[in-house]
Amino acid sequence: MVSRRLDVVSYLGSQVLFQNMSEAELQRIAAASCVRRVQRGTEIFAAGDDCEDLYLVVDGLVKLYAKGPNGHEKVIEVVGAGGCVTEALLFNDQPHSVNASALVDVQMVEVPKDVLMTELNRSPEMALRFITDLSRRFAGLVRDIEALTLHSGIKRVVDYLVHSPDVGQVPVSQRDATVSLPASKGTIASLLSVTPEHFSRILHELQANGLIAVNRRQIHIPDVQRLACYG
């Protein structure tokens, strides 16, 4: 359903990829963009679909995942508010390689690929920001591959908790932190390439050792450094 509440020009101007663009440039992009809300569970695109837009997540969570022949899902990434989807595909004519669906109700800005490419050709600064963002995403994928191949399941869970944005917002002098899981435990388990049962066992082990306290999706870490050294 279409939303008319969002000031698209102001929103775009607040995003890193579009910073320092002129009002006229933002107006051009906003005029061609679509703002809509997607209900929880709705498929946004499927693997094999043509990539025609850049998706900017205003509110909510978007799950990027692969699906096997048996229907089994592997979560690749969970993109939250302020994140964007499909920027890597803007520079080629390849279709989507993964699926995307709304984990919760989502509000998005969809920017047409052809409009973005026109603006990128006009603005070297904007192109550089896209390249920087792609480099950041690539580095994150390399870290994920390293974790999957070299780290145990419990180490992957520990690293996920310790490097959560919630922990990053806590002052260095503060020893404890509380992490709010952005999605269900099953989704997080798939993201970390462990089964839901294994994920639950790991959380129980960490809790039994006094390293965390679990209350539904709220995970309190009494001592972040102590947890970081576990596993």
For 150-181, what is each residue's pLDDT tens digit?
Answer: 789 999 999 999 999 899 888 878 899 999 99
**For all residues of the chain together, what is the average pLDDT?**
90
pLDDT at 2 over 50: no
The pLDDT of residue 29: 94
Per-residue pLDDT of 87-136, as tens digits, reads 777 777 889 999 999 999 999 999 999 998 898 888 888 888 888 888 88
Per-residue pLDDT at 4 exceeds 70: no
Question: Distance between CA 141 and CA 203 in Å, rounded?
Answer: 24
What number is the average pLDDT over the span 206-213?
97
Give the residue-averaged pLDDT of 173-200. Answer: 94
pTM listed for this prediction = 0.83
| pLDDT recorded at residue 90 | 74
Residue 86: is its pLDDT beyond 60?
yes
For the chain, the DSSP string reads -B---S-HHHHHHHSGGGTT--HHHHHHHHHH-EEEEE-TT-EEE-TTS---EEEEEEES-EEEEEE-TTS-EEEEEEE-TT-EESGGGGGS-PPPSSEEEESS-EEEEEEEHHHHHHHHHH-HHHHHHHHHHHHHHHHHHHHHHHHHHHS-HHHHHHHHHHTSHHHHTS-TT---EEEE-SS-HHHHHHHTT--HHHHHHHHHHHHHTTS-EEETTEEEES-HHHHHT--
Q: What percent of the chain has pLDDT over 90?
A: 65
pLDDT, one tens digit per residue, over 62-77 is 999 999 888 789 999 9
Per-residue pLDDT tens for 27-50?
999 999 999 999 999 999 999 999
| pLDDT of residue 1 exceeding 50 | no
The confidence band for 3, taking pLDDT boundaries of 50, 70 and 90, is very low
